[in-house]
Each structure stands twice: as C-alpha cells, then as structure tokens.
C-alpha cells in the first residue's frame, strides 16, 4: 500500500520514514505522544508538518492495522 503521507527515501534522513515534504520522522510524533504531549504540542514543535498530515498518518495506520487483523 502506497502512502500519501509517509515517505522513506535513502536520500532523506537515510531512509527513515518521514512526513512527506519534510524531514520530520514519523517516530518523532509517536515519541511525543508516548511522552504525554499533545498533537498540538507536536505541531508547534514541527511547523513543517500540518494537522492534516497527522490525521492522514493515523487513518493510514488504522487501515493497515485493520487490514491485517
């Protein structure tokens, strides 16, 4: 399944999955949430990522998870 929001390119952050059009790793969002931060706090810290990208990330993750359940 091709992602509309995640890109993994060896030329960008050594292939680490990032939000498309940024150099912000997906793991950073997960780390923020695990630490108890809000999505709003994440967006304030990483202004190159927009709210719709975060929503799309969770929608894609949900679809992939449920497809394999």
Class of domain 6-67: mainly alpha
Compute the distance between CA of residue 67 and CA of residue 30 in angstroms, rounded to an integer.
21
Q: How confident is the model at residue 67 (pLDDT cuts 50, 70, 90)?
A: confident
pLDDT given at position 69: 74
Bridge partners, residue 7, by sequence: 18
Q: Note the pTM of the prediction, 2 decimals.
A: 0.87
pLDDT, tens digit, for every residue of 21-65? 999 999 999 999 999 999 999 999 999 999 999 999 999 999 988
Compute the distance between CA of residue 69 and CA of residue 66 in angstroms, rounded to an integer.
5
pLDDT given at position 68: 79
């Amino acid at each position: 399944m091709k992602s509309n929001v995640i890109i993994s390119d060896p030329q960008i952050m050594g292939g680490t999955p990032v939000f498309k059009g940024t150099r912000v790793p997906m793991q950073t969002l997960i780390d923020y949430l695990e630490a108890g931060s809000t999505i709003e706090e994440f967006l304030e810290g990483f202004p190159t990522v927009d709210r719709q990208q975060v929503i799309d990330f969770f929608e894609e993750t949900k679809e992939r998870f449920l497809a394999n359940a």
